[in-house]
């Protein structure tokens, strides 16, 4: 395994002073999967005090001293070094009551969650893999270390980690482990919303998110109850060939893997449950559902303590996920003026994700949506005037004709709307002339 030189030196230093030391966890898993690790965690037989002594010449921060973790700043990189440990009981289903340091790497590996995360490696000692993690990685299997039921009752976050890994890595969850997940999904209420949100973000961006949403639907209903109401909900419409929840899961996976798009698609149709109507032909309609979905989405994301910026972006995509699709230049310019280029493209991508999760014939509209995106990009590249700030005149220029008043604001916004519609060019002389024209029209009225 290729390690950054600093990591190799840290391991060597610990070994030279009489301790054993390994890289462990995600980085070993990533390496065995052929991916490049994003960070390297080190585990060692040295106690935190011993580690501090070994790195007395470096900056050492006691980041998690209770759990045996210190962070060492070594030749420009900072690395967490954690003492081998076994965890005591977990009476709250979240945190070990006590941790006991150990001198044995196998002890440390056995407290870890899944076999794929329970492998250690050092250049001196090679791979230490007591639970068959490498084999499970080869076969694409997530398996709890030890008794799955016990491991999930110790720490309910593992339930969500398993499902997140399954989505991101496209790994299947082994049967006993899957059964234990289902048995412990209710324990997720013990997990803080911050951690649930963090896992959910990564899970939703995974490439196997649809399978995971469908296989563990009741788990998602526990975390987000309104989503549970979509399960088994028949849409009663010729546009739909599956239940609302199945449609939602497919729409999530069909959208670009960004947090805002994935959350938006997860929540885009929540409002349907609340506004179903049936016409005389037995066809169901959901008038106004986008707005209700947006309100529910806002509430859920506040509950998950999502940051305002992401929440607001998601809510707007949900609110507008259903606007008309039109290739007319004037329409697109108006939408760009309202949403900005980025949000408008997100909204159009939501349309594509939505249509591709409906009955087959609905896909016929997708080329048209793609055409709208193309035109919108061309328009945006021209850097058009689509906001009051970009107008070639300001209130200052109008002062000789109109005193500062609400009327001035009205004139400016009418000028902007005519520029957006390309009725007049965004040029000072033309704008002033038109402003005088508008004034005259007003006076005549
Ligand atoms: P990634 O960083 O890509 O999320 P990772 O496996 O490195 O994956 P971390 O949260 O960084 O995940 O944790 C590092 C290691 O610590 C894991 O590989 C696993 O061995 C162990 N670990 C993390 N969380 C838990 C947990 N809740 N229960 C048991 N072991 C855990
Ligand atoms: Mg990690």
Ligand nearest to the backbone CA of 165: 1
pLDDT at 403: 83
Residue 264 CA to ligand 2 center (angstroms) comes to 27
Residue 247 confidence (pLDDT)? 98
What's the pLDDT tens digit per position in 262-313? 999 999 999 999 999 999 999 999 999 999 999 999 999 999 999 999 999 9
**Ligand positioned closest to the Cα atom of 195:** 1
Residue 222 CA to ligand 1 center (angstroms) comes to: 23
37 secondary structure, DSSP code: P
pTM greater than 0.85 (yes/no): yes
- Asked whether 356 and 265 are in contact (CB, 8 A), the reply is no
The rounded Å distance from CA 24 to ligand 1 centre is 9
Give per-residue pLDDT as tens, 219-267. 999 999 999 999 999 999 999 999 999 999 999 999 999 999 999 999 9
Give nearest CA residue, ligand 1 atom 5: 26
d(CA 321, CA 45): 54
Q: Which residue has the tokens 């949506």?
A: 369
Assess whether the C-beta atom of 68 lies below 6 angstroms from ligand 1: no
Contacts of 169 (CB under 8 A, 6+ apart): 33, 140, 142, 206, 208
Distance CA 118, CA 106 (A): 9
Question: CB of 438 closer than 6 A to ligand 1?
Answer: no
Closest ligand to residue 203's CA: 1
Please list the residues that pair with 81 across neighbouring strands.
42, 70
**Domain extents in the chain:** 1-139, 232-384, 388-444
User: Which residues are found with C-beta within 5 Å of the ion, ligand 2?
Assistant: 26
Ligand 1 close to Cβ of residue 26 (< 6 A):
yes
Q: What share of the chain is helix, strand, coil (3-state, %, to 5)?
A: 55, 10, 35
What number of residues does the chain have? 445
- 143 pLDDT exceeds 80? yes
CA–chain centroid gap for 283, Å, is 35
Looking at domain 1-139, its CATH class is alpha beta
**Is the CB of 339 within 6 Å of ligand 1?**
no
Beta carbons within 10 angstroms of residue 96's beta carbon: 19
Q: Write b or e for each residue in 287-312: b if 16 or more Cβ atoms lie within 10 A of its Cβ, otherwise e.
A: eebbebbbebbbebbeebebeeeebe
Q: Ligand 1 in contact with 154 (CB < 6 A)? A: no
For ligand 1, whether the C-beta of 69 sits within 6 Å is no
């Amino acid at each position: 395994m290729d390690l950054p030189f600093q990591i190799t030196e840290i391991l060597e230093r610990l070994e030279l002073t009489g301790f054993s030391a390994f890289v462990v966890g995600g980085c070993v898993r990533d390496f065995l999967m052929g991916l490049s690790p994003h960070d390297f965690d080190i585990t060692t037989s040295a106690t935190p005090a011993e580690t501090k002594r070994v790195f007395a010449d470096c900056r050492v921060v006691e980041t998690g001293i209770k759990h045996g973790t210190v962070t060492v700043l070594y030749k420009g990189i900072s690395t967490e070094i954690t003492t081998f440990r076994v965890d005591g009981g977990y009476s709250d289903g979240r945190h070990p009551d006590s941790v006991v340091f150990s001198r044995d790497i196998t002890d440390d590996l056995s407290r870890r969650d899944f076999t794929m995360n329970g492998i250690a490696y050092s250049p001196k000692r090679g791979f230490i893999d007591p639970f068959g993690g490498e084999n499970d990685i080869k076969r694409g299997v997530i398996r709890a270390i030890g008794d799955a039921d016990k491991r999930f009752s110790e720490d309910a976050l593992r339930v969500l980690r398993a499902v997140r890994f399954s989505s991101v890595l496209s790994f299947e969850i082994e049967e006993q482990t899957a059964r234990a997940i289902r048995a412990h999904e209710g324990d997720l209420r013990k997990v803080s919303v911050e951690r649930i949100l963090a896992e959910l973000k990564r899970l939703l961006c995974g490439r196997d998110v649809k399978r995971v949403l469908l296989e563990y639907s009741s788990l998602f209903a526990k975390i987000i109850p309104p989503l549970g109401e979509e399960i088994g909900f028949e849409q009663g419409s010729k546009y739909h060939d599956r239940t609302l929840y199945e449609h939602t899961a497919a729409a999530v996976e069909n959208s670009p893997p960004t947090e805002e798009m994935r959350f938006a698609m997860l929540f885009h149709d929540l409002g349907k449950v609340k506004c179903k109507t049936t016409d005389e032909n037995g066809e169901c309609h959901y008038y106004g559902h986008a707005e209700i979905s947006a309100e529910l989405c806002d509430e859920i994301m506040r509950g998950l303590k999502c940051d305002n910026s992401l929440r607001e972006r998601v809510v707007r995509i949900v609110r507008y996920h259903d606007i008309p699709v039109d290739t007319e230049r004037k329409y697109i310019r108006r939408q760009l003026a309202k949403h900005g280029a980025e949000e408008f493209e997100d909204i159009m991508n939501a349309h594509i994700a939505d249509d591709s999760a409906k009955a087959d014939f609905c896909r016929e509209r997708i080329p048209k949506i793609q055409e709208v995106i193309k035109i919108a990009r061309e328009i945006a590249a021209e850097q058009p005037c689509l906001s009051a700030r970009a107008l070639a005149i300001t209130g200052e220029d109008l002062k000789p004709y109109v005193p500062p008043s609400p009327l001035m604001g009205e004139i400016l916004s009418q000028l902007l709307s005519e520029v957006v519609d390309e009725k007049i060019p965004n040029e000072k002389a033309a704008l002033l002339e038109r402003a005088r024209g508008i004034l005259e029209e007003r006076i005549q009225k």
